[in-house]
Amino acid sequence: MRKLLAILMVAVLALSTCVAFAEEAADENVVTIAMQTSPNLDPQWNAGATGAWLLGVMYEGLYDVTATGFELGGAERVDISDDATVWTFYLRQDAKWSDGQPVTANDYVYSLRRLVNPEISTTYMLDYGQYLKNGAAIANGEMAVEELGVTAIDDYTLEIQLENPCTYFDSILTYSAFFPMREDMVVEDGTGNWAWDAEKSVTNGPMKMISCDEDQEIVMVKNEYFHSADEIALDRLVVRLIDDTNTTLQLLETGEVDLINTYPSEETERLQEAGLYHASPALSTNFLLLQCENEPTNNALVRQALSYAIDRDFLCNVLFLGTKTPATTYVGGGFPGSSADTDFRTEGGDLISYDPERAQELMAEAGYPGGEGFPVLTCSYSNNSADYTTMFEYLQAQWEEILGITVVLEPLEVASMTELRDAGDFEITPQAWGADYMDASNMLSIFVTGNFINGGRYSNEEYDALYTQSLATVDQAERMELLHQAEAILMEDMGTIPLYHSNNVALYSDDVLENVAIGSDGKPILTDIIHK
């Protein structure tokens, strides 16, 4: 009898514990999102939008992205020298890592030395390292990493010296490559994959990771040591990792996830009518990479002909149901121009158009009148996007009808397409680039000779020289003029074929979520969201 009573007591206690846990869980503000698999969570190895989205809630850099721009985050104030080459940051003294240790200037020094260290060779070693004093020389193995112009004056004072004057360096510092990192937690594996280990994930942002399966799900909870934890609405973030857009949409509509930002474009009208579609302009461009080293796309006349044969207005407003903005050149709208009151795109004007007759003339000038003698053209793309299928079936029809050439479509698995693009082993393939920071230079940087995004191997010495000169130019109007000249060369060469500018899309129900704001980087600010 006593044994039975004991068993009953244990059962009652267990039940009450479960009830208490359920009540506690019910009070949590939990949001579940879905994104593509295997985001890279190492701030300096990541080069993808999904990884950047999560890194933005796991880490805090010197500046934070806001809905309207950016503001000081991990620093309380900054002093900038008159020539914009020395930036001195005074760090928050209440900033802590997720294990309670203080964030110090030495954490930034370690991180930025790691960024340019050629023995590690992180993704953005040269792209961002070149801004730092001696950064390029160190990355090229010409100087020791200790000679980088980044110094911890004391625990909470960080001095960053630049190679050249840079008045927009604050916007660059919003990117994850400049986040602080804890040297005692980092494992150098040549990929950044160590960062998927929840036990190694010590971060300084509003959320911390407690579990991670890079192919299934990531779970984060509020970082109780974050200096502004009381202001963070989100208690728990669950990230479902799924590549197929049809599956993510189904999960949204069945209530298994609360928010997604990718979906099959053919569902746009239905989603708009259902009140799930929320969009805003994005600082990004979708374009075609063309193999610029091999025939026939190494011929600028051929590349121009292909571009003039594309009706971008029809593609965006009919086939994509108005969800894209037709590209009239490479850099889209929204980037600062020669002054705070101007826009880079408005100043530069339109540089490409739809002109079938001109396309035919150019193809004939290239030696292929009516497409005669032109080899079969293969378009390779990932098979996980209905948008790509729609787009390339349209391009195939246009190019065959207007130019008289034969076009073959080659849909591939994501991993195979990534491998092909990285190796430059394609003729035409799609690519997109969203700005890491709000300056046209970031968009144009990827077509500098040797840039890792420049999979088509486009190269023009004059373009490179103009871009390099812009980096050393302080006057904003002069710098913008140099970038306009560079863009004009890129479009004259048709080193890439711009297609459209995307919208930042967040799909969710207003009955489920509130306070969903889109940051200036185009990503929903997750920490502010409230689950009703």
pLDDT in tens, 321-345: 888 999 999 999 988 899 878 999 9
Instruction: Tell me, yes or no, whether 139 and 225 share the same domain.
Output: no
Instruction: Tell me, yes or no, whether 356 and 495 share the same domain.
Output: yes
pLDDT digits (tens, 9 = 90+) for 163-172: 998 988 999 9
Instruction: Report the CATH number at residue 247.
Output: 3.40.190.10
Is 35 among the domain residues? no
Instruction: Tell me, yes or no, whether 266 and 328 share the same domain.
Output: no
Is 237 among the domain residues? yes
Instruction: Tell me, yes or no, whether 376 and 489 share the same domain.
Output: yes
Of 245 and 3, which is predicted with more confidence? Answer: 245
Of 4 and 103, which is predicted with more confidence? Answer: 103
Instruction: Tell me, yes or no, whether 169 and 64 share the same domain.
Output: yes
Instruction: Tell me, yes or no, whether 310 and 391 share the same domain.
Output: yes
Instruction: Report the CATH number at residue 457.
Output: 3.10.105.10
pLDDT of residue 63: 96
Class of residue 59 by CB neighbours under 10 A (exposed 0-12, middle 13-18, buried 19+): buried
Provide mean pLDDT across the span 340-358.
94
Instruction: Tell me, yes or no, whether 486 and 442 share the same domain.
Output: yes
Is 24 among the domain residues? no
Domain C-terminal end among 138, 171, 189 = 189
Q: For the chain, how many structural domains are there in total?
A: 3
Of 474 and 238, which is predicted with more confidence? Answer: 238
Query: Which is nearest to 342 in space by CA: 173, 171, 170, 481?
Result: 481
Torsion angles phi and psi, residue 275, rounded to 5: 80, 20
Instruction: Tell me, yes or no, whether 240 and 387 share the same domain.
Output: no
For residue 248, the enclosing domain spans 197-280+506-531
pLDDT of residue 60: 98
Instruction: Tell me, yes or no, whether 297 and 392 share the same domain.
Output: yes
User: Which amino acid is present at 313?
Assistant: D
pLDDT of residue 20: 35
Is 493 among the domain residues? yes
* Mean pLDDT, all residues of the chain: 91
Provide mean pLDDT across the span 498-515.
94
Is 7 among the domain residues? no
Instruction: Tell me, yes or no, whether 468 and 526 share the same domain.
Output: no
Give the C-alpha distances (Å, rounded to integers) separating 244 from 87, 342, 495.
44, 40, 31
Of 347 and 434, which is predicted with more confidence? Answer: 347
Is 25 among the domain residues? no
pLDDT of residue 26: 62
Instruction: Tell me, yes or no, whether 236 and 318 share the same domain.
Output: no
Instruction: Tell me, yes or no, whether 439 and 302 share the same domain.
Output: yes
Confidence category of residue 280, pLDDT binned at 50, 70, 90: confident
Gap between the Cα atoms of 221 and 127, Å rounded? 33
pTM for the full predicted model:
0.75
pLDDT > 70 in the chain, percent: 95
pLDDT of residue 367: 96
Q: Give SS3 for 107.
A: helix
Is 397 among the domain residues? yes
Instruction: Report the CATH number at residue 109.
Output: 3.90.76.10
